[in-house]
Amino acid sequence: MNTPVTIIGAGLGGLTLARVLHVHGIPSAVYEAEASPTARLQGGMLDIHDYNGQLALESAGLMDEFRGIVLEGRQALRVLNIDGTVLFEREDDGTGGRPEAQRGDLRRMLLDSLPEGTVRWGHKVVGARTLDDGRHEVTFENGTTVVAELLVGADGAWSRIRPLLTDARPEYSGTSIVETYLFDSDTRHADVAKTVGGGSMFGNGIEPGLSINAHRESGDTLHAYVELAKPLAWFDAIDFTDAEAAKARIAAEFDGWSPELTALITESDIAPIHRPAYALPSGLRWERVPGVTLLGDAAHLALANGEGANLAMLDGAELGKALAARPGDVEAALAEYELAMFIRCETPLEEDFLLESIFGDEIPQQLLNIFERRD
Q: Does the annotation list 167 as a binding residue? A: no
Phi, psi of 52 (to 5 degrees): -150, -65
Residue 306: what are its φ and ψ, rounded to 5°? 85, 0
Non-local (6+) Cβ contacts of 97 within 8 A are 49, 50, 51, 54, 357
Query: If we measure between CA atoms, which residue out of 251, 238, 189 comes closest to residue 216?
Result: 189
**Residues 329 and 188 sit within 8 Å (Cβ to Cβ):** no
CB distance 220 to 185 below 8 Å = yes
For 321, phi then psi, to 5°, come to -70, -40
- Residues with Cβ within 8 Å of 209's Cβ and at least 6 positions away in sequence, in order, are 174, 175, 227, 228, 229
- Distance between CA atoms of residues 187 and 206, nearest Å: 32
Three-class DSSP category at 227:
strand
> DSSP string of 35-83?
SSTTSS---SEEE--TTTHHHHHHHTT-HHHHHHH--TTTT-EEEE-TT
d(CA 238, CA 258): 24
Q: CA-to-CA distance for 230 and 298, rounded, in angstroms?
A: 25
Round to whole Å and give the CA distance between 196 and 74.
11
Closest CA to 148 of 3, 310, 354: 3
All residues at 6 or more sequence positions from 122 whose CB lies less than 8 Å from its CB, including other chains: 32, 33, 34, 35, 36, 142
Answer positive or negative: Cα dihedral of 340, 342, 343, 348.
Answer: positive
Q: Let me know the angle formed at the C-alpha of 329 by 301 and 123, rounded to the nearest 5 degrees.
A: 45
Contacts of 326 (CB under 8 A, 6+ apart): 1, 332, 333, 336
Question: Is residue 40 marked as binding?
Answer: yes
Question: Which residue ranges are tagged as binding site for FAD?
Answer: 47, 103, 297
Query: Which residues are part of a known binding site for NADPH?
Result: 40
- Binding-site members are 40, 47, 103, 297
